[in-house]
A and B are shown apart, each in its own frame.
Chain A
Amino acid sequence: MDKKISPTTPLSGLHSVIGNVTLKEVNPEIFCISIPKKMDKKVTSEFKRILKFDVPIIGQSSLNKNSTIRLIKNSLDQFFILFERNSEVAGVIKSLEKDFYITEQSDAWVGIEIFGKSSHNCLERICPLDLSAESFGVNTAVRTLMEHLNVLIIKTAEDSFLLLSASSSANSFLSAVETSAQNIV
C-alpha cells in the first residue's frame, strides 16, 4: 500500500471561531539577527540600506511598504525578521548575513493570529502586559509569559495580534488561548 508523507504545521492549519474571537495558525518565515560588537554603531544605516524601511526601537516592530516583512527589535543586540512570503527570504537574508549573525528559527515557533472584537478581552486574562491602546499600540512587539509559556506578542492592528510561542508546546499554548476565549463567550 502506498503511503504518502506530507509535511504539516504545529497546529495543522488551525482556524477556529470562539464567540467574537478568531484564531488562525500562521507560519511566517522567522529569522533571528544578532548584532556583532563591531556593527553596534552601523546597525540602523545597514538595515535601512538593505531593507529600505525604518528600524524600530526595542519593543516595537516596523513593516516594509507591502507589509510582507516585519522587523522586530527584541533587545539591545537582537532582532527578529518575519517574512510572509517565502520568495522574499533569500534576497534579504543573503544581504543581511554578510554583516550579521543569522539563525533560521521558523520551525521553532508556532504562530497564532488572534483577531476579532473580543481578542483584547481574551488576551488580558492570560497576558501580564498592559494591552490598552495607550501603552500597547499597533506594531508593539514584546516577549512575555502567558500561562507558563514564553510568548512574543505583536499587535498587528487595533483588534488583531500575532502570538508566537515554542512549536514544541504548540498545543498547550493553543489550549491556554482557547480556554481564555471560551471563558468570555
Chain B
Amino acid sequence: MIIPHPYLGPRDACEFVYKGDAELVFRPERVEPVDYDAFHDYLYLRQNPAGIHKELWYHEYGDRSWLVVTRNTQTHEILKVEFASNYISKQKNRKSNV
C-alpha cells in the first residue's frame, strides 16, 4: 500500500505504523466527577466500518509526523491524507460552530 504523504509524496506503508481509529485523538477531559462511561467508550468502542474509515498513522521511519488517513477498508483506496494537527483543529472548529 502506498500512502501519499502531504509533504514527502508517495511513501510505502512499511515506513508507517498504524495507530488505530482517528477518533483516538479526542480523549475525554478528566474532570471531577469523572465520566467513566465516556472513558469506557473512548477505550473500548470502535466503529470498525467496512468502507470509509479515518485512521491514525505515524510516519516512524520517515519524518515522524502523525497523519489522519481516510481509507476505504474494503478496497484499500486512500481518499485523503492530512496532518493530525490540522485534522484536530478542523474538527474542533466544526464542533464549536455547531
- Interface residue total, chain A, C-beta cutoff 8 A: 16
Listed from nearest, the 6 A-B pairs whose CB atoms lie closest are A75-B63, A128-B12, A58-B7, A145-B61, A59-B8, A143-B62
21 contacts between A and B (CB under 8 A): A57-B7, A58-B8, A75-B63, A75-B64, A75-B65, A76-B7, A78-B63, A128-B11, A128-B12, A128-B14, A129-B11, A129-B12, A130-B10, A135-B9, A142-B62, A143-B61, A143-B62, A144-B11, A144-B15, A144-B61, A145-B14
Chain B 30-47 near chain A by CB (<8 Å), digits 1 or 0: 000000000000000000
Residue in B closest to A151 when the chains form the complex, CB atoms: B61
Residue in B closest to A57 when the chains form the complex, CB atoms: B7
Which residues in B have their C-beta under 8 angstroms from that of A135? 9
A182 at the interface (CB under 8 A from B): no
Residue in A closest to B2 when the chains form the complex, CB atoms: A128
**Which residues of A does B touch, CB under 8 Å?**
57-59, 74-76, 78, 128-130, 135, 142-145, 150
- Interface residue total, chain B, C-beta cutoff 8 A: 13
Which residues in A have their C-beta under 8 angstroms from that of B65? 75-76
Q: Which listed residue (B7, B10, B62, B64) contacts A144, Cβ 8 A?
A: B62
Alpha-carbon distance between A56 and B61 when the two chains are bound, in angstroms: 20
Which residues in B have their C-beta under 8 angstroms from that of A78? 63-64
Pairwise interchain contact A143-B9, C-beta atoms closer than 8 A: no
Alpha-carbon distance between A129 and B15 when the two chains are bound, in angstroms: 10
Q: Which listed residue (A74, A128, A129, A130) contacts B63, Cβ 8 A?
A: A74
Alpha-carbon distance between A129 and B14 when the two chains are bound, in angstroms: 11
Which residues in B have their C-beta under 8 angstroms from that of A142? 8, 62-63
Give the contacts of B52-98 with A (CB-CB under 8 A): 61-65
Pairwise interchain contact B61-A150, C-beta atoms closer than 8 A: yes
Residue in A closest to B13 when the chains form the complex, CB atoms: A128
Kindly list 19 other residue pairs between chains A and B, CB separation below 8 angstroms, not including A58-B63, A143-B62, A145-B12: A57-B7, A58-B8, A59-B7, A59-B9, A74-B63, A75-B63, A75-B64, A76-B65, A78-B63, A78-B64, A128-B11, A128-B12, A129-B12, A130-B10, A142-B8, A142-B62, A144-B15, A145-B61, A150-B61
